[in-house]
C-alpha cells in the first residue's frame, strides 16, 4: 500500500476503498515503490489509482521499470488501455510513460467507473500488443546503435566533394534538385510535381547511354575540330577555344569535348540539362574567343544546330 505522504492530494482512506491489485517493487527486502490499479476487463481498461516511489529512490528509473512490468501484465491479459487522474506533480511522469490527455476510449467506456478528482488531469495510454515493454529500452538502445552505424557509414560514402554547378552561367534558369551531383547518392528523392523532365522516368544507365551516343556523334562531326582537347605538343591539331593564347571568358570557364567525355564517364551528368549546359558552353566560349566571321564560330553554329536536333529527342 502506498504511503499517504507519497500522494498528498488523495485521501488516506481512498486506497482501501478502491484498490483491487497492486504491483510492488522490492529492493534489499524492502518495498520502495508500487502501483495500485483497478482493472475493468469488460470495459477494456485499467485505472492507475496510485503510483509512487520512495523519495530517496526517485530519479533512478524505478518508476519506468514498474510501469513497463505493469504494461506487459496487461498485454498478457488483453487489457490495452490505462486511465489515470494525474495531479500537477505526476503529469510529467505519466507523459514519459506514454500517457497523454488524448483519450482513445469513448467516454461511455469509463464514465462512472473511475474516480474523478478535482484539480487533476485525466490521462490515458494505449498499449501496443506487439511490444514487450520490459525489453523496450534495450531494443531502442540497439536500434539507436544500428542507426548511428548506418549514418556513419553513409557519411563515409558521401564524403566525396563535387565541383560547383556552372550551368547557370550559360542561361539555364533552373534544374531539378536531383540533378545536382551527389544529391541522389545522398538518398534524396524529389516528390514535387513542378519537375516534369523526362529523366524522372529514366534510370541512370539509360541516361548515360543516350548521352554517350550524342557525345560520340558530336566528336565525329566535321565541325567538331575546334572543340577537341587542345594539345600544344600536336602541331597537326588546330587552335581551339582552349588555346592559352586567347584571353577571354573562355579561359576562365574552359570546356572541351574531352572534358565532357571524362565527366560523362565519371557519371557527373545525373540530368540531361547538366550535359546540355556543358555542351552549350563550348559554343559560348567559341563565340567570345573568335570573331563572328571566323571558321571556329561557323563550326560552332553548325555543331550547335546539329546538337540541338539530337538533344531534343530526350528533352522534349
Please indicate whether residue 22 or residue 242 has the higher confidence score (pLDDT): 22
Check residue 105 and give its pLDDT.
93
H/E stretch holding 67: helix 62-76
Check residue 238 and give its pLDDT.
45
Is 123 a residue whose pLDDT tops 70? yes
pLDDT tens track for 165-219 = 776 766 566 666 767 777 777 766 665 544 454 444 467 888 899 999 999 999 9
Is 109 a residue whose pLDDT tops 80? yes
Nearest CA to 279 out of 251, 252, 310 is that of 310
Q: Hey, which of 13-22, 166-175, 231-240, 280-289 has the most confident mean pLDDT? A: 280-289
Q: Binning pLDDT at 50, 70 and 90, where does residue 84 land?
A: very high
Task: Kindly give, in sequence order, each residue whose CB lies less than 8 Å from that of residue 278, ignoring residues fewer than 6 positions away.
Answer: 167, 255, 259, 260, 263, 269
Check residue 5 and give its pLDDT.
47
Check residue 170 and give its pLDDT.
60
The percent of residues above 90 in pLDDT, for the chain, comes to 49
Check residue 40 and give its pLDDT.
94
pTM tops 0.85: no
Give the burial string for 79-118 (b: 16+ CB within 10 Å, else e).
bbbbbbbbeeebbebbeebbbeeebebeeebbeeebeeee
The answer to whether the CB of 98 falls within 8 A of the CB of 123 is: no
Q: Which CATH superfamily is domain 4-137 in?
A: Gcn5-related N-acetyltransferase (GNAT) (3.40.630.30)
Instruction: Count CA atoms within 13 Å of residue 8 on its CB side.
Output: 3
Check residue 303 and give its pLDDT.
95
47 belongs to the catalytic site: yes
**Nearest 5°: phi and psi at 53?**
-130, 140
Task: Kindly give, in sequence order, each residue whose CB lies less than 8 Å from that of residue 208, ignoring residues fewer than 6 positions away.
Answer: 264, 267, 269
Q: Which of the four CATH numbers 3.40.50.620, 1.10.3720.10, 3.40.50.1370, 1.20.920.10 does domain 167-315 have? A: 1.20.920.10
The length of the chain, given as a count of residues: 316
Check residue 14 and give its pLDDT.
52
Is 44 a residue whose pLDDT tops 80? yes
Select which of 5, 6, 47, 57 is catalytic. Answer: 47
Is 300 a residue whose pLDDT tops 50? yes
Is 244 a residue whose pLDDT tops 60? no
Check residue 27 and give its pLDDT.
93
Check residue 204 and give its pLDDT.
81
How many of the other CB atoms lie within 10 Å of CB of 166? 14
The residue extents of the domains of the chain are 4-137, 167-315
Q: Which three cell numbers stand for residue 74?
A: 496487461
Check residue 93 and give its pLDDT.
93
d(C-alpha 300, C-alpha 282), whole Å = 8
* H-state helical runs in 158-271: 204-219, 249-252, 257-265
Check residue 177 and give its pLDDT.
72
Please indicate whether residue 156 or residue 234 has the higher confidence score (pLDDT): 156
Q: Binning pLDDT at 50, 70 and 90, where does residue 66 land?
A: very high
pLDDT tens track for 249-298 = 444 578 899 999 999 998 888 888 889 989 998 898 899 889 999 999 99
Amino acid at each position: 500500500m502506498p504511503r499517504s505522504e507519497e500522494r498528498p492530494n488523495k485521501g488516506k482512506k481512498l486506497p482501501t476503498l478502491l484498490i483491487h491489485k497492486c504491483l510492488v517493487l522490492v529492493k534489499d527486502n524492502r518495498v520502495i515503490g508500487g502501483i495500485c490499479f483497478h482493472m475493468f476487463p469488460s470495459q477494456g481498461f485499467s485505472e492507475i489509482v496510485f503510483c509512487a516511489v520512495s523519495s530517496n529512490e526517485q530519479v533512478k528509473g524505478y518508476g519506468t521499470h514498474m510501469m513497463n512490468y505493469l504494461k506487459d501484465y496487461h498485454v498478457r491479459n488483453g487489457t490495452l488501455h490505462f486511465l489515470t487522474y494525474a495531479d500537477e506533480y505526476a503529469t510529467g511522469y505519466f507523459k514519459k510513460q506514454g500517457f497523454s490527455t488524448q483519450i482513445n476510449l469513448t467516454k461511455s467506456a469509463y464514465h462512472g467507473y473511475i474516480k474523478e478528482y478535482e484539480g487533476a488531469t485525466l490521462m490515458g495510454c494505449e498499449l501496443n500488443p506487439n511490444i514487450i515493454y520490459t525489453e523496450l529500452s534495450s531494443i531502442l538502445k540497439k536500434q539507436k546503435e544500428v542507426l548511428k552505424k548506418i549514418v556513419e557509414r553513409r557519411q563515409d560514402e558521401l564524403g566525396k566533394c563535387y565541383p560547383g554547378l556552372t550551368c547557370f552561367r550559360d542561361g539555364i534558369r533552373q534544374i531539378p534538385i536531383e540533378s545536382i551531383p551527389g544529391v541522389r547518392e545522398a538518398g534524396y528523392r524529389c516528390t514535387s510535381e513542378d519537375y516534369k523532365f523526362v529523366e524522372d522516368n529514366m534510370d541512370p544507365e539509360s541516361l548515360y547511354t543516350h548521352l554517350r551516343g550524342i557525345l560520340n556523334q558530336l566528336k565525329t562531326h566535321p565541325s567538331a575540330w575546334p572543340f577537341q582537347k587542345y594539345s600544344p605538343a600536336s602541331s597537326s591539331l588546330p587552335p581551339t577555344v582552349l588555346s592559352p593564347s586567347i584571353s577571354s571568358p573562355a579561359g576562365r570557364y574552359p570546356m572541351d569535348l574531352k572534358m565532357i567525355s571524362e565527366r560523362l564517364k565519371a557519371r557527373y551528368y545525373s540530368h540531361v540539362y547538366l550535359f546540355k549546359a556543358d555542351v552549350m558552353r563550348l559554343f559560348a566560349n567559341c563565340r567570345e574567343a573568335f570573331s563572328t566571321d571566323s571558321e571556329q564560330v561557323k563550326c560552332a553554329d553548325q555543331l550547335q544546330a546539329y546538337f540541338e536536333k539530337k538533344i531534343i529527342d530526350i528533352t522534349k
